[in-house]
Amino acid sequence: MTRDEMDRRAALKAFVGLGLASGLADCTSAPEPGGAPAPTEQPPAADTTPPEEHEHPADGDVLVFAFGDKEGQVIAPSDVPLGGPQIFAYPADAGGGHVASDSRLDQVILVRMDPSSLTEETTARAVDGIVAYSAVCTHEGCDVSDWNEDGLRLVCPCHDSEFDPSDNGQATEGPATRRLAALPLKIVDGRMMAGGGFQGRIGFRRR
């Protein structure tokens, strides 16, 4: 194998990730017919991207209080009251060193519903009845900061759009016609965590 071929394989392995890379290692470490054994492959380098340069929220980010007395503290499931209202949160790297609070587009709302009230799609992203959505209204981008206690709806105070947290964040009242972006959740060591990134378009974004 030429040096260029070895370089291209190494670049491809770095791109597709460790799982596939281990399969490629089995191929590339075999001796060339009639040639010297290929050099031992090195494991891919660790991701050294600073946390503040990652997209948030992302799988494994802890969720911390965005405001109030507990601002910056990691949210536990017991902090989220059954039947609302919603809690505002920001994602943070799992070590707690960086809170992604620079952009409203990263802000999350958490609300706990009766698990039996959740639709199938919503249940797939929820933990213990707790669901999470982008805090940015899909009408014109205000914070979805109010709560309709009777109807169990998330409410945007700017033009009174309402969203159903039990049904995928669907818009049910007011001028907003598009659902809120949804965030998959998980609980690890008693801490609320993102199970991935937002699913759906955030707020007023066109894509």
Contacts of 135 (CB under 8 A, 6+ apart): 88, 104, 107, 108, 109, 143, 144, 145
Single residue of 60, 84, 115, 174 touching ligand FES by CB under 6 A:
174
Burial of residue 23 (CB within 10 Å: 0-12, 13-18, 19+) is exposed
> Minimum distance between the CB of residue 173 and ligand FES, rounded to whole angstroms?
9
Single residue of 60, 77, 175, 197 touching ligand FES by CB under 6 A:
175
Q: Omega of the bond prior to 175 within 30 degrees of 0, cis?
A: no
Cβ proximity to ligand FES, 28 vs 161, nearer residue: 161
Contacts of 45 (CB under 8 A, 6+ apart): 14
The 6-45 site mask, x for binding ligand FES (CB under 6 A), equals ----------------------------------------
Stretch that binds ligand FES, among 11-19, 119-127, 174-182, 189-197 (CB under 6 A): 174-182
> Minimum distance between the CB of residue 64 and ligand FES, rounded to whole angstroms?
25
Cβ proximity to ligand FES, 123 vs 172, nearer residue: 172
Cβ proximity to ligand FES, 112 vs 139, nearer residue: 139
The yes or no reply on residue 176 touching ligand FES (CB under 6 A) is yes
Query: How far apart are alpha carbons 31 and 52 in whole angstroms?
Result: 43
The yes or no reply on residue 109 touching ligand FES (CB under 6 A) is no
Calculate the alpha carbon distances from 170 to 64, 136, 151, 204 in Å.
25, 13, 14, 15
Cβ proximity to ligand FES, 28 vs 138, nearer residue: 138
Single residue of 8, 70, 159, 205 touching ligand FES by CB under 6 A:
159
The conformational region for residue 206 under phi > 0 = left, psi -120 to 50 = alpha, else beta, is alpha
> Minimum distance between the CB of residue 119 and ligand FES, rounded to whole angstroms?
23
Q: What is the dihedral of CA 73, 77, 81, 83, to 10 degrees?
A: 140
The yes or no reply on residue 139 touching ligand FES (CB under 6 A) is yes
Query: How far apart are alpha carbons 188 and 202 in whole angstroms?
Result: 26
Cβ proximity to ligand FES, 72 vs 174, nearer residue: 174
**Total residues interacting with ligand FES, rule: CB under 6 A:** 12
Contacts of 126 (CB under 8 A, 6+ apart): 113, 115, 118, 185
Eight-state DSSP code of residue 103: -
Residues that bind ligand FES (CB under 6 A): 137, 139-142, 156, 158-159, 161, 174-176
